[in-house]
Amino acid sequence: MLQGNYEQILKLISQSSGLSRDELERKIEGKRAKLSGLISKEGAAQIVASELGINFEKQKMKISELLTGMKKINVSGKIIKMNRVVEYNKNGRSGKIGSFTIADETANIRIVLWDVNHIALIERGELKEGDVVEISGADVRNSEIHLTSFADIKKSGIIIENVQTKQVFNKKTISEIGFNESVDVRAFVVQIFGPTFFNVCPECGKKVSESGECEKHGKVDAQRRAILTFIIDDGTENIRAVLFSDQIKKIASDSDLESSDSFMPKREELIGKEFLIQASSRRNKLSGSMELFVGDIQEIELDKLIEELEKKQ
């Protein structure tokens, strides 16, 4: 099942079928009604696409059009970051994993190689940063492209310029978010936990021991960092969002963060406010539930928002 932006799925079906958005939505709602509402809009859209004879597996896709759950996709992109090949040995299984990031003019995405023949292309230097590659028969899992032995990758003569190297955040409601996605969310803060504090190495940013020892740099003059945890809600669902010092400073001053007690007035001020949040969705290692690691946070400016909405009309 495809997971992702319903609007994006609608656009793909409309482009392939020639049907208008209104026509497609009537078909989708009709399918949901027939199934007593026991299927999501995305799921109903997939059934409609299948009935219309649309097969995304045969189409050449732009990176921004890819959705988790797509099978046997075909895409091209320029390698913008090459990672080292990693060996693993887990649960009695061993092997290698190769990975790199490709980009086109619309977005970028991580490529994961599992087949030894594909990985050998990296080890022999036949694939390197700056090369344009064509990928076919691959699957999209957790917002990454995964290649097994049934997939194919080869260098291409296609020229791709002005590639999107920055992280792309997709606008979503909380209920639409899946694991390992970069999302743009508009939501209210309904609860705040913290701040909690820890010390890091000024050289590498990693946590140091209570005695101020860094595993890599030894005894250091540790720097104090803060963590805040928000519960945010956009009306579709709520989720835990984690903010670190750089993001916290955008909404609270150093004096606010001196202690848990000094933060109390700011806590009362922030609860109930609406924010625009850019974040990456991750799985919490302890609970297994999904949470957001916040990369940017901005308070909603109503005057600016109204102005933007008026421009779209």
Do residues 6 and 124 both lie within one domain? no
Please report, for the domain that includes residue 63, its CATH number: 2.40.50.140
Do residues 205 and 294 both lie within one domain? yes
Give residue 9's Cα distance to chain centre.
17
Do residues 185 and 302 both lie within one domain? yes
Do residues 137 and 186 both lie within one domain? no
Do residues 43 and 130 both lie within one domain? no
* Length of the chain, in residues: 313
Do residues 190 and 298 both lie within one domain? yes
Question: How far is it, in rounded angstroms, from Cα 297 to Cα 310?
Answer: 23
Among 248-252, 269-273, 284-288, the least confident range: 284-288
Residues 259, 297 contacting (CB under 8 angstroms): no
pTM check: above 0.75: no
Do residues 31 and 91 both lie within one domain? no
Residue 61: give the domain boundaries: 56-165
Q: Which amino acid is at 196?
A: T
pLDDT score for 309: 58
pLDDT in tens, 94-115: 889 999 999 999 889 999 999 9
Do residues 274 and 192 both lie within one domain? yes
Question: How far is it, in rounded angstroms, from Cα 269 to Cα 309?
Answer: 27
Question: How far is it, in rounded angstroms, from Cα 14 to Cα 8?
Answer: 10
Do residues 123 and 200 both lie within one domain? no
Last residue of a domain, one of 110, 140, 165: 165
Please state the domain count of the chain: 3
Do residues 175 and 306 both lie within one domain? yes
Do residues 209 and 128 both lie within one domain? no
Among 5-14, 22-31, 218-227, 285-294, the least confident range: 5-14
pLDDT score for 268: 92
Give residue 113's Cα distance to chain centre.
19
Question: How far is it, in rounded angstroms, from Cα 9 to Cα 170?
Answer: 13
Last residue of a domain, one of 30, 54, 78: 54
Question: How far is it, in rounded angstroms, from Cα 80 to Cα 149?
Answer: 23
Do residues 107 and 230 both lie within one domain? no
> Rounded to a whole number, what is the distance in angstroms from the first to the last CA of the chain?
34
